[in-house]
Amino acid sequence: MTPPRVPFARRFRPLLPLGGLVLAALTAPPAAAQTFRGGPPDISGMAWVEADTFLVVHDGKVPEEADRPRLGRVVLPPHGGPVIWEPLEVAWPPSHGLAHDLESIARVPGTDRYLLAESGDDGEAPHAHLFLATYAGGVVTIDEVLDWPVPITNVEGTAVFEVMGGRYFVYAERAHGAPTTRVSWAAFSIDPVTFGPFQYVDLGVPAPHGPAARPVVALDVDTHGRVYVAAAEDFDEDGGPFRSAVYEVGSFEPDGAGGARLVLRPTPVRWGTLDGVKVEAVAVRDRDGTTEVFIGTDDEDWGAVVRRLPAPLVEE
């Protein structure tokens, strides 16, 4: 049976379990509703804002998913209870139109600016753009739209970080079915957005492996320069099954010449193995000197969840 179309309002929604971990959809007055099949959307990228608030992006396609939100806000209740989610309205520039396949969002450190990234969608659609946005007072404003500065195929992980006062942009291809992917970075500035020359290293993770593996589907960098990535196994079946793992893979350090270099760990530190879900968002929150790692999932037919990962166990 074809599931009914479920309306939802532009207001906070609890994320509740339903036959597994899914985002629950609530009904709303038709005049205020957007509608799409299967409940609220996936989470394909996430960035920490402040306190218990995160911004998330959703990978709606054009034109078939034009009615799906592209950006949302997630709030973690400080005293227990369900996580809450709210879609955010965005006035996309007429010169570009609706964003297509947003797969990551990166906060520019020390600012209220965010870089939203279209994935490139395997080169099958003319959508490979970056959007510099401001999020202030609950409102999102698109400040600048630009083409990706280098050729891409399908990028699902980006971040902006600082090393010794310099600001950098880093990204990685998801590299579906490949044993490794390329992590690339360059000096980065805003107003206007500019990039320096890109450098890169090749990265492999312990698992998952095989024809359905994606070495990097999410990426973030903490205030110490440490790099966290998510890898996933996806057989291109919206019903799954899925498998994911999250790792700390290395750190960015000064390169001695006024730039930054990525020093990979000989063995990545595993922060979590998540069987049954497809992680596509990693966000780091630095609070009271403690690094906290959060994940968001794109579980296709199953909806999405947000979770904080426990710190890795230390083997004695």
**Tens-digit pLDDT profile for residues 13-34:** 444 333 333 333 322 333 233 3
Q: Are 54 and 73 in contact (CB under 8 A)?
A: yes
| CA dihedral of 150, 151, 153, 156, whole degrees rounded to 10 | 10
Predicted pLDDT of residue 123: 83
Predicted pLDDT of residue 314: 64
Structure-model confidence comparison of residues 264 and 95, the more confident one: 264
Closest CA to 113 of 133, 128, 136, 87: 133
Q: Pull the structure tokens for residue 192.
A: 């206007």
| Cα 311 to Cα 52: distance, rounded to the nearest angstrom | 18
Q: Are 181 and 174 in contact (CB under 8 A)?
A: yes
Q: Is 80 exceeded by the pLDDT of residue 39?
A: no
Mean pLDDT score, 108-134: 93
Closest CA to 57 of 300, 296, 316: 296
What percentage of the chain carries pLDDT values higher than 90?
Answer: 77
**Tens-digit pLDDT profile for residues 150-160:** 999 999 999 99
Predicted pLDDT of residue 23: 36
Q: Pull the structure tokens for residue 260.
A: 């930054």
The values of phi and psi at residue 126, to 5°, are: -80, 55
As a residue count, the chain comes to 316
Q: Token pair 């999410």 is at which residue?
A: 218
Closest CA to 59 of 112, 150, 123, 127: 127
Residue type, 59: D
Q: Are 252 and 261 in contact (CB under 8 A)?
A: yes
Predicted pLDDT of residue 83: 82
Q: Token pair 């202030």 is at which residue?
A: 136
Predicted pLDDT of residue 40: 54
Predicted pLDDT of residue 126: 82
CATH of range 5-34+41-306; options 3.30.1490, 3.40.50, 2.40.50, 2.115.10: 2.115.10
CA separation (Å) from 79 to 14, 17, 76? 14, 18, 9
Closest CA to 185 of 249, 252, 130, 250: 252
**Tens-digit pLDDT profile for residues 48-63:** 999 999 999 999 999 9
Residue type, 262: L
Closest CA to 170 of 151, 155, 180: 155
**Tens-digit pLDDT profile for residues 189-218:** 999 999 999 999 999 999 999 999 999 999
Write down the mean pLDDT value for the chain. Answer: 87
